């Protein structure tokens, strides 16, 4: 059998496998809340991009303080911000280079 190229996880020195979104608490309820949140006034554009003068549609609801650090703030709206996919990925995985 030929040698296969390393996976992205192996290249990045991945250790323990990350839990799935559902295992981390992102349920159907979260999916519905996210849709609602992004439709609210002021939540249509990525907060990080908007601060840089760019209008990029938000597609993700981010926890400002990570939910693994403060699980009590998971459902707290003041701990949420709208982000585009690129900014959410960069904030969640700042050391990764895709």
Domain boundaries, the chain: 25-92
pLDDT by position in tens, the chain (length 98) = 455 555 544 555 555 676 776 777 677 899 999 999 999 999 999 999 999 999 999 999 999 999 889 999 999 999 999 999 999 999 887 776 65
Q: How far apart are CA 53 and CA 42, in angstroms?
A: 15
Q: Which among 34, 90, 43, 92 has a CA at the least distance from the CA of 67? A: 92
Token duo for residue 98: 């895709």
Answer whether 57's CB lies under 8 Å from 22's CB. Answer: no
Its pTM stands at 0.73
Answer whether 61's CB lies under 8 Å from 18's CB. Answer: no
């Amino acid at each position: 059998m030929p040698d296969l190229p390393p996976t992205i996880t192996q290249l990045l020195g991945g250790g323990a496998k990350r839990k799935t979104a559902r295992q981390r608490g992102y349920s159907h309820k979260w999916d519905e809340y996210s849709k609602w949140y992004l439709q609210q006034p002021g939540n249509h554009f990525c907060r990080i991009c908007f601060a840089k003068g760019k209008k990029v549609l938000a597609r993700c609801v981010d926890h400002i303080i990570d939910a693994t650090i403060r699980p009590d703030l998971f459902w707290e709206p003041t701990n949420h911000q709208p982000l585009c996919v690129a900014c959410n990925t960069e904030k969640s995985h700042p050391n990764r280079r895709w």
